[in-house]
Structure 1
């Protein structure tokens, strides 16, 4: 159970302002957050199932609509056969590749990409939050940094990524840097908006009581910006996967981005479609996991914590 204590005292008789008055204690159900998370988990599972169905239908329809030859265009059923069938149809999987080998290569590459995406995501979010806080505390930093940030953002990532790999190397660091850049700019814009969305009366209260800008930031601005933070997270998680794949594609045969280049060179189109499908599913799942975490955090610490709909 959590406790909320109003600042206005209430007298035992029901009036307010008496010196002997005791504060009213409002108790919020400890199960509120758990119920909210449970509902969000069920919602996320429903969205996942519905997304996979819609994705599969659109995938199949578009292949038929554009009359893509079977040698190049693989259906969701072909992807399933590529990974799990011992005897797939001709052209779905190279004869030299068993289902176990296909799964090991595909899921192993997925694990590498998710690791690269996670490192880039964490770095990008931490840097974005740090810069946004610096903007609030020190105005000159915003005037100096924001034009540079907008300039970098206007350059296509596919153009700047090779330069970044030359500077940082073609290993995990270089790939994570590319993923971090994808995460950085949307998160920075959202966080700045969130930190500035606090009500002026809350800031005045901190100032009247002798509080510093740092206190206003930690006690008022950051808690208020939590919805903006999680909006940034939901947007950035799929972007981190795409950024990691781009870095892998440019750096060599590693992760989903690297293996898709290898499969294309070997005309293993079943493998290419499988990698694309895994990347899309991983991005959807990551987005839904972020939404569940968002619900859990905001239900406990967000602006509407303890309130039920």
Structure 2
């Protein structure tokens, strides 16, 4: 029995280890290049501190960074959730009705092409200097790639599956839930991966512009007070969180689309 079970567990664990080697090697090489560049070109610490200075600042200001990270993740998660629901609803409507697509899609595209920096003062006046502005910025930045990929996914449903649902007497909603949505999952997750990584950046941008608590404000304050170690520590934390969100999104996609294999 043990001999039969061993080959099943082994490749899975080995695959996980192989998946971890790449990111670890990348981080080590990046830190080595960072240290080499700072040393070789004698970069002043007020411009770019060495990696150990950023690590020291992280340990010293861990509470402050964790507090700011909480607000940024909260804003990004809330905005991404709203963007996801809005994108799926709009994509479903656009696929179902060409008249609505021709009437509403140009407005959606126009809203997406508006520079966030240009409309940020308007958003601050509407939503105030808090979570409302951060959510609005994240939604504007994140919903479009999800919507475009969802539209492509909903349109890629096999015709024989749609015809089968029609023969069985299924309505639009049941056909959407049972057929269109499962077929569109790979496309939706492709857009979600792109949107999820940019959600952190857009939340930080909103914090930077509005002064709300978060990593964006922390980085701005650290820059103003010339705390370059803290600044770089916060930047690295934001990069790690963006990669973590991307990895989690990929893992969820594999779990939900395993049936396709």
Aligned in 2, Cα 1:257/1:226: closer, same or farther, shift over 3 Å? same
Task: Write the deviation string for residues 189-214 of structure 1: whole angstroms up to 9, x where unpaired.
Answer: 00000101112222222233433333
Output aligned runs, 1:141-290, within 5 Å: 141-290=100-249
Give, in angstroms, the shift of residue 227 of structure 1: 0.7
Q: What does residue 65 of structure 2 align with?
A: 106
Q: What does residue 4 of structure 2 align with?
A: none
8 A contact 1:44–1:292 mirrored in 2? no
Give, in angstroms, the shift of residue 64 of structure 1: 5.8
Please, which runs of 5 or more residues in structure 1 have no aligned partner? 1-33, 85-98, 305-309
Output aligned runs, 1:21-170, within 5 Å: 41-42=16-17, 44-61=19-36, 63=38, 68-84=43-59, 99=60, 102-170=61-129
Distance (whole Å) between structure 2 residues aligned to residue 216 and residue 235 of structure 1: 27
| Among 267, 287, 292, the residue aligned to 2:251 | 292
Structure 1 runs of 4+ off > 6 angstroms?
Answer: 34-40
Q: Which deviates the most, 40-49 or 253-262?
A: 40-49
8 A contact 2:131–2:212 mirrored in 1? no
Distance (whole Å) between structure 1 residues aligned to residue 109 and residue 13 of structure 2: 40
Distance (whole Å) between structure 1 residues aligned to residue 10 and residue 121 of structure 2: 47
The RMSD of aligned alpha carbons is 2.4
The structure where helix makes up a greater share of residues is 2
Task: Write the deviation string for residues 94-132 of structure 1: whole angstroms up to 9, x where unpaired.
Answer: xxxxx2xx1111121111111111111111111111111
Q: TM-score, normalising length from structure 1?
A: 0.75
Q: TM-score, normalising length from structure 2?
A: 0.87
Distance (whole Å) between structure 1 residues aligned to residue 163 and residue 239 of structure 2: 46
Distance (whole Å) between structure 2 residues aligned to residue 239 and residue 38 of structure 1: 31
Give, in angstroms, the shift of residue 158 of structure 1: 2.0
Q: Provide the aligned length of Structure 1 versus Structure 2.
A: 253
Aligned in 2, Cα 1:38/1:234: closer, same or farther, shift over 3 Å? farther
8 A contact 1:128–1:185 mirrored in 2? yes
Q: What is the SS of the residue equivalent to 2:181?
A: helix
Larger radius of gyration: 1
Aligned in 2, Cα 1:142/1:50: closer, same or farther, shift over 3 Å? farther
